[in-house]
Chain A
Amino acid sequence: MSTLLDISGLSRRFGGLVAVGDVGMEVAAGSVHGLIGPNGAGKTTMLNLISGHLASSAGKIQFDGSDITRWPVDRRARFGIRRTFQNLRLFREMTVLENIMVGMHGQTHCEIWHALLRSPQQQAEETAITERAREALDFVGLAHLADMQAGALPYGSQRLVEIARAIVARPKLLLLDEPAAGLNGAESQRMVDLIRMIRASGVTVLLVEHHMDVVMPSCDCITVLNYGRRLANGSPAEIRAHPEVIKAYLGGRLKRRAKPTQSSQPEAAHASP
């Protein structure tokens, strides 16, 4: 599999604090890549650096053949990097369908004068946007809520609307920031299924998540961060068995479920301090 996202030496400092320090990571095209670590490990900072919401202090982000390190958020979004937010960020007073239609912004082109003249081109584009938005809504299973006000939906549904808004434009890379936070067991299971469906539709996923019952079954590859450094990188089985990971973060909880295999030796990039 080719590499879609290639991060090298990425750092972000806040004053004296190193939130992310010299992290390298490769995300294979077509994969679901997990990014895990204890609280404060720098996972969300990493996601913000990749989406462009934070500027990096050092390092390089290569995406789909372009160096996007200095690109602003909106340009990265139009180029195919979409995301969801840990604290939901919906357009609360717009309808569910309109929220998702906004997600098509970067893929559409009609300007003000097209709207003023109701040109055939604009009419066709509006129809196409609406159709795509309904498809995306159907994909996440919320077709029946299209005309509801987004802010009035229950928490779990709002998460799904955010995902639909992010995937409606068929991005190359989807960044999910704790999509299972606040979901119950059954909802988490549905989230795993949805992540698999998104991958099957051809979108690469980078998943930041605390819930191991979501991360382990859905990821092809996992990177572990600790104190802003990369601790380990490998398949879910390798990460489960990794002594440094178990020591730093997962502890007894995973030890019980771990099935150590001697053959695969995941790399330990940086030992925790």
Chain B
Amino acid sequence: MRSSLIARLGVALLLAAVPLLQSNAYWVHIFSLALIGVILAFSQQLLVGMAGIVSLGQGAFYGIGAYTAASLAISFHVPFVLAIVAGGLLAGLSSLLLIPIVRLKGSSLAVATLGFAIIVHLVMLNEDWLTGGSIGMIDIPAPTLFGFSLGGEKALYYICLITAAAVFLAFDRIAHSRFGRALTAISQDEEAARASGINIAVYKSKCFLVAAIASGIAGGLYAFHSRYLNPNDFDFQKSIDILIMVVIGGIRSLPGAALGAAIVVLIPELLRASGEFRLLLFGVMVIVFAGAGSKGLSGILVDLVKYIAQHGQRWLLQKPWTARL
């Protein structure tokens, strides 16, 4: 318990130091985007890792959050914190539209959420009066707090970091609660979960709700991060990217999801120099990482650390005895 607290504080300090180590505005901008990706990956992890639900609709909730926050900020000058919260709430509210389909299982449910993502994207693309159509949303004001502008890349990075940390803590608490246990039970054996008194449909709906709120909040952050929304930022490709983050990072692990998100956002940027090949290289990496199985990259790292610890210990223990006197 204590060691995990130290590890968390260490990671938090490291992430807080990032803009000081690399103060190039472009890179800080990209790091903020990675943190938004981390929140999205957390929301997918709640669905896939805990409840065993593959959602291909998280990009839609992300978009709903972004458009809500942008509209409120542009039309009603709503303060950015409230706009982001509203984005999360409306995304959560829209997840209730999925209630009729939560009884589906496996690939049927995944395809149904994909349908939802396609519909939401079409609304963004075609309902000009509401979403600005294919032009999107422009002139999103810079975030301000108590009259101070928070428009700088660094300020926004810290806003994203605090939000991501809050979502991590919230989901970590959920994982070790009655709600989290019920979701895990559902993912392992639905019949046994029902026989233990768990209402499957209610719990799957609640899981979608919580995950959609997190995705919506990520969307709100994105609106203020990018200050311009294009409907194609929220097509179903986005939903698939979010799923890739969790699968390569490691299913069932929140740190794994964060790692996966960092890879999915940062690697294409790092590979920019390789031009046309960067997406190809990215694709190959995804296949390699997915080859690690459900443990993902985080699982491999944990195994590696364990291996080193074990062998290091054996080496230390054996040393005096193997030395022949």
Which A residues are within 8 Å of any B CB, using their own CB? 51, 53, 72-75, 77-78, 82-83, 85, 89-94, 98, 101-103, 105-108, 110-112, 114-116, 118, 122, 125-126, 129, 165-166, 169
Query: Are A112 and B210 closer than 8 Å at their CB atoms?
Result: yes
Nearest-neighbour CB distance to chain B for A54, whole angstroms, equals 11
Query: Are A115 and B185 closer than 8 Å at their CB atoms?
Result: no
User: Residues of B contacting A114 with CB < 8 Å?
Assistant: 177
Interface residues of B in 166-182 (CB under 8 A from A): 170, 173-174, 176-182
Nearest-neighbour CB distance to chain A for B26, whole angstroms, equals 36
Query: Are B188 and A94 closer than 8 Å at their CB atoms?
Result: yes
Query: Are A74 and B189 closer than 8 Å at their CB atoms?
Result: no
Query: Are A83 and B179 closer than 8 Å at their CB atoms?
Result: no
Q: How far is the CA of A112 from the CA of B180 in the complex (A)?
A: 9
Contact of A111 among B176, B179, B180 (CB under 8 A): B179
Which B residues are within 8 Å of any A CB, using their own CB? 170, 173-174, 176-182, 184-185, 188-189, 191-200, 206, 210
**A129-B178 contact in complex given A77-B194, A90-B189, C-beta closer than 8 Å:** yes
Query: Are A115 and B178 closer than 8 Å at their CB atoms?
Result: yes
- Interface of A (DSSP majority class): helix
Query: Are B178 and A92 closer than 8 Å at their CB atoms?
Result: no
User: Residues of A contacting B197 with CB < 8 Å?
Assistant: 74, 77-78, 105-107, 169
Query: Are A74 and B178 closer than 8 Å at their CB atoms?
Result: no
Contact of A94 among B178, B185, B210 (CB under 8 A): B185
Contact of B178 among A53, A91, A125 (CB under 8 A): A125
Please give me the 8 A-B residue pairs with the lowest Cβ-Cβ distance, nearest first: A106-B197, A115-B177, A77-B197, A89-B192, A91-B188, A73-B194, A78-B197, A102-B185
Query: Are A102 and B174 closer than 8 Å at their CB atoms?
Result: no
Q: How far is the CA of A73 from the CA of B201 in the complex (A)?
A: 12
Contact of A53 among B181, B191, B206 (CB under 8 A): B191
Closest to B200 in A: A74
Query: Are A77 and B196 closer than 8 Å at their CB atoms?
Result: yes
**A94-B184 contact in complex given A74-B194, A116-B174, C-beta closer than 8 Å:** yes
User: Residues of B contacting A98 with CB < 8 Å?
Assistant: 181, 184
Nearest-neighbour CB distance to chain B for A126, whole angstroms, equals 8
User: Residues of B contacting A105 with CB < 8 Å?
Assistant: 178, 181-182, 185, 196-198
Contact of B174 among A91, A93, A112 (CB under 8 A): A112
User: Residues of A contacting B176 with CB < 8 Å?
Assistant: 115
Q: How far is the CA of A129 from the CA of B178 in the complex (A)?
A: 9
Q: How far is the CA of A78 from the CA of B188 in the complex (A)?
A: 20
User: Residues of B contacting A166 with CB < 8 Å?
Assistant: 195
Q: How far is the CA of A106 from the CA of B185 in the complex (A)?
A: 13
Nearest-neighbour CB distance to chain A for B221, whole angstroms, equals 20
Q: How far is the CA of A134 from the CA of B195 in the complex (A)?
A: 20
Q: Can you list 26 A-B contacts with CB-CB less than 8 angstroms, sorted by A residue number?
A: A53-B194, A53-B195, A72-B199, A73-B195, A74-B194, A74-B197, A77-B197, A78-B197, A82-B196, A85-B192, A90-B188, A91-B184, A93-B184, A94-B184, A101-B181, A102-B196, A102-B198, A103-B196, A112-B206, A115-B177, A115-B178, A115-B180, A116-B170, A116-B174, A122-B177, A126-B177
Query: Are A108 and B173 closer than 8 Å at their CB atoms?
Result: no
Q: How far is the CA of A108 from the CA of B178 in the complex (A)?
A: 8
**A106-B196 contact in complex given A111-B179, A118-B173, C-beta closer than 8 Å:** yes
Q: How far is the CA of A90 from the CA of B196 in the complex (A)?
A: 11
Nearest-neighbour CB distance to chain A for B218, whole angstroms, equals 18
User: Residues of B contacting A90 with CB < 8 Å?
Assistant: 188-189, 192
Query: Are B179 and A115 closer than 8 Å at their CB atoms?
Result: yes
Closest to A150 in B: B188
Q: How far is the CA of A93 from the CA of B186 in the complex (A)?
A: 12
User: Residues of B contacting A107 with CB < 8 Å?
Assistant: 197
